[in-house]
Amino acid sequence: MPRCVVSFVDSDGIRHAVEVEAQSLFEAGALAISVFRRHECEPAPVSKLDIEITSTVKHTVTPQRIRDWIGSPAKGPTDLVLKERLRKLV
């Protein structure tokens, strides 16, 4: 089930946000309203709910592959600085 972050800004200018799992835009909104209500910060009927569908990308690498990348030639100054910093960590 997709994860969604639902947020709104209240009349005092404070942004409230909650993460829910939902199959649709309206389900995400309804679940979020329920959570906000339980926490006594329910949005007003005319509040705009921002609903962001989040996705996670997973990568798998071995420690050896990381060491190989750190030991490979840098592609530029920024890459060089990053690799030098990471070399000290591993």
Domain count across the chain = 2
Q: Are residues 17 and 50 in the same domain?
A: yes
SS3 1: coil
Q: Is residue 52 within 8 Å of residue 22, measured between CB atoms?
A: no
Q: Are residues 17 and 33 in the same domain?
A: yes
pLDDT tens-digit profile, the chain (90 residues): 889 999 999 999 999 999 999 998 999 999 999 999 999 999 999 999 999 998 877 788 899 999 999 999 999 999 999 999 999 998
Q: Are residues 70 and 85 in the same domain?
A: yes
Other C-beta atoms lying within 10 Å of the C-beta of residue 47: 15
Q: Are residues 42 and 65 in the same domain?
A: no
